[in-house]
Amino acid sequence: MNDRTNTIFGWVLFSGVVALGLSAISTRVFHADSSEAPETFGYPIEGVSTGEEEDAGPSLATLLATGSADAGEAVFAKCTACHTIAQGGAAGIGPNLYAIMGKPIGKHAAGFAYSSALSGHGGDWTYENMDAWLKAPNGFASGTKMSFAGLSKPEDRANVILYMRANGGGPPLPEPEAEEAAPAEGEVDGAGEGPGGVEGAEANSVEAAGAMGAPQPVPGSGAAASNSGGAKIGD
């Protein structure tokens, strides 16, 4: 009986040693104890941003200029489980959002118990800050109590911001960047930039005088000096 018990304990101990060894290997090789995302994903994961698409697409100012508060109202339906936005609306799981644009972050709704991650963030709800918050709340304020994953489409975020602005106002919208005008059809870059010689045009008196002073080509040694000694056609 004792031998059997010792054998069982021996196998249990051996299993623990193996598990500990595998854990050490996974930590060293696969960085299993790291909470940070890897620099390169082994395969694409839906819903996880790799950061490569950040520079693509219109700017926030352009999206706000072309967006719609009505479209934002439809997207905001995802937020109504936790927030109200009507003036004087009660707080739910999240604070009332009326007139939030331009107000201090984490201090807008008096008496609401904000997380320290948000109340201690600092700054105001600018359009850029709100865009970053709506994209990834936990990325904007790590440790926030808001569990919403975020809105991945820049157009949706811009429309929601416009809807928030329509409910209580906010700072002036940023001006979209001016786009460079494309050359008109048939126009060549550089055309009309100043006077220049035109091929085939008759030279004026100044150009003609300059041409007279230019070095003239010298006949080569094999060229005929004159026609006086040459044979005449018909002789």
Domains of the chain: 60-166 (1.10.760.10)
> How close are the terminal C-alpha atoms of the chain, in Å?
142
pTM beyond 0.75: the answer is: no
Helices 154-166, 127-135: crossing angle, 10 deg rounding: 130
pLDDT category at 2 given cuts 50, 70, 90 is: low
Arithmetic mean of pLDDT over the chain: 76
- Evaluate whether 67 touches 162 at the Cβ level (below 8 Å): yes
For residue 213, pLDDT beyond 90: no
pLDDT at 191: 52
Structure tokens at 90: 């009660």
51-60, 119-128, 166-175, 207-216: which range is least confident on average? 207-216
pLDDT at 178: 78
Concatenated DSSP letters of the chain: -HHHHHHHHHHHHHHHHHHHHHHHHHHHHH-TT--SPPSS-SS--TT---STTTTSS--HHHHHHH--HHHHHHHHTTTTTT---STTPPP-SS---TT-TTSBTT-SSTT----HHHHTT-SB--HHHHHHHHH-HHHHSTT-S--------HHHHHHHHHHHHHTT--SPPPPPPPPPPPPPTTPPTTTTSS----TTPPP-HHHHHHHHHSPPPPPPTTS-S-STTSPPTT-
pLDDT at 156: 97
- Higher model confidence: residue 85 or residue 15? 85
pLDDT digits (tens, 9 = 90+) for 26-84: 556 555 555 444 444 444 444 444 444 455 789 999 999 999 999 999 999 999 999 99
pLDDT at 177: 85
Interacting residues of 230 by C-beta distance below 8 A, sequence separation 6+? 224
Q: Report the DSSP beta bridge partners of residue 124.
A: 104
pLDDT at 125: 97
Determine the Cα–Cα distance for residues 49 and 139; give it in Å rounded to an integer: 12
pLDDT digits (tens, 9 = 90+) for 102-132: 999 999 998 999 999 999 999 999 999 999 9
pLDDT category at 5 given cuts 50, 70, 90 is: confident
pLDDT at 102: 96
- Higher model confidence: residue 125 or residue 227? 125
pLDDT at 40: 47
